[in-house]
Structure 1
Amino acid sequence: MTFVQLIDCKTNRFDEMNRLMDTWVEQTKGKRTATHSVIGKDRSDASHFIEIVEFPSYEEAMRNSNLPETDRIFQEMVALCDEMPTFTDLDVVRDEQLYEATARRFFEELSAKGDTPTFNDVLIEDYHDHDPANPQDNIGLDAIRREVEMWRGGFDFSFTIEDQLAQGDLVCTRWTWNGLHKGDFMGIEATGKKVSMTGCTIQRCTPDGKIAEGWWQYDRLGLMEQLGALDELQQ
């Protein structure tokens, strides 16, 4: 179970404490077990700071605490505080990965039945789409809707999300696409073939959770081969 520790302290020497934390990070490189750390400053009290540290488990947190470097740095940190810091230990019982959920909802809307989605709830107005198969990037909701209409006109399709990784404001989604070729696609008339391809999409999100930019990598050549578009070139 993921474990989070809250460290609540007051200090008027935060710059010194920040340098102390940099020293601890350097000294424990390859040994520390924390996966994520965030420090926040109280907007109503400039001397009040809270650090949120995430670990894979309580046991890993204890391993981190028992490092000799951790104990030494802690004593120096206490000396920089106006009063003794307090610690709150939390077992995580709910963890919403909001950016990952937005990316997943985007893929669901792409393949939803019915009219072309507006994407207003998942994309910003000037969304920037990078697709190496297109001579120019698609910028703006109208442009991405036209791109989606081209694909939806040629195929009935769905996405299967295989993996998702998030770091900062970026989400990487590895997916499998399955489609039925029902209509014209890039000059290729409907074949009725069932086709598939794999790919990855990296998306950058805004603080309010919408997607601002996307980079696509997928096996378009393999798709064209399945549609028979390469047969004439091979003859």
Structure 2
Amino acid sequence: MTFVQIIDCKTDRLDEMNRLMDRWVEATQGKRTATHSMVGRDRADSTHVVEIVEFPSYEEAMENSKLPETNRIFQELTALCDGEPTFTDVDVLRDEQLNKIVVRRFVDEVIDKGNVNAADELCTADYREHDPGLSTYDADLERSKAENKEIIDAFQPTCTIDTLIAEGDTVCLRMSFRGRHVGAFKGMEPTHRDVSGTGHATFRCEGGKIAESWWNLDDLGLMRQLGVVEV
């Protein structure tokens, strides 16, 4: 179970604290078990600083606390604070990464279910899609829907999400797909051949919707499977 430690302290020496955190990251490289650290300042009280540190489990957090570097940095942190920092130990019961959810819905509803109009809800009005397989590398929402509908109707693909990683407003997708060439595609009549491939996509999210995407699919592999090109 993911474990989070919340450290509350009072200090007006935030710059020194940031430098101290940089030294801790450097000193524990290759040793620490923490996977994510975030420092924030209370808007209502500029001396109230909160650090949130994430670990894969409580047990690994305890291993991290045993590092001599961690103890030394804590002593230096305490010296920067008005009083000793307080700790809150939290077992994470639910972790919703909302940008990943909208990307999963896009894959499920637009690609797997073939409902390209779902993009109206999932994407911003000024959405832009960058895909070398489309007629332009800067397709707006309506053009991307129209051209993607041709692809979906032609191959009726199903997509498997192999990896989905989110950081900030960016979500990266590694996927594999399977389908059958049952409809006209770029002037080619259906071959009824089974096709499969892999691809990567990167999404930029804004306000809970997808604002921009970049796609890289194995188009050459697809053309080989259709018998259009030989390598």
- Cα distance change on mapping 1:115 and 1:74 into 2, 3 Å: closer
Residue by residue over 1:163-195, the C-alpha shift from the partner in whole angstroms, topping out at 9 and shown as x without a partner, is 222233322222222222222101101222222
TM-score (norm 2): 0.91
RMSD: 2.0
2:110–2:118 Cα contact (<8 Å) kept? no
> Shift in Å at residue 24 of structure 1?
1.5
SS for the counterpart of 1:120 is helix
> Shift in Å at residue 114 of structure 1?
6.4
| Greater mean alpha carbon deviation, residues 158-167 or residues 39-48 | 158-167
2:129–2:141 Cα contact (<8 Å) kept? no
> Shift in Å at residue 112 of structure 1?
4.9
- Cα distance change on mapping 1:116 and 1:136 into 2, 3 Å: closer
TM-score (norm 1): 0.89
**Identity in percent:** 54
1:34–1:56 Cα contact (<8 Å) kept? yes
Residue by residue over 1:130-168, the C-alpha shift from the partner in whole angstroms, topping out at 9 and shown as x without a partner, is 223346313321121122122133232221222222233
Task: Name stretches of at least 5 consecutive residues in structure 2 with no aligned partner.
Answer: none
SS for the counterpart of 2:121 is coil
Which whole-Å CA distance do the structure 1 matches of 2:134 and 2:69 have between them?
A: 52
Task: Report what 1:162 is aligned to.
Answer: 162
| Matches for 1:14-163 after TM superposition, within 5 Å | 14-113=14-113, 116-134=116-134, 136-163=136-163
Task: Name stretches of at least 5 consecutive residues in structure 1 with no aligned partner.
Answer: none
1:198 aligns with 2:198: yes
Which whole-Å CA distance do the structure 2 matches of 1:146 and 1:161 have between them?
A: 23
1:172–1:203 Cα contact (<8 Å) kept? yes
1:110–1:148 Cα contact (<8 Å) kept? no
1:224–1:230 Cα contact (<8 Å) kept? yes
Which whole-Å CA distance do the structure 1 matches of 2:114 and 2:73 have between them?
A: 59
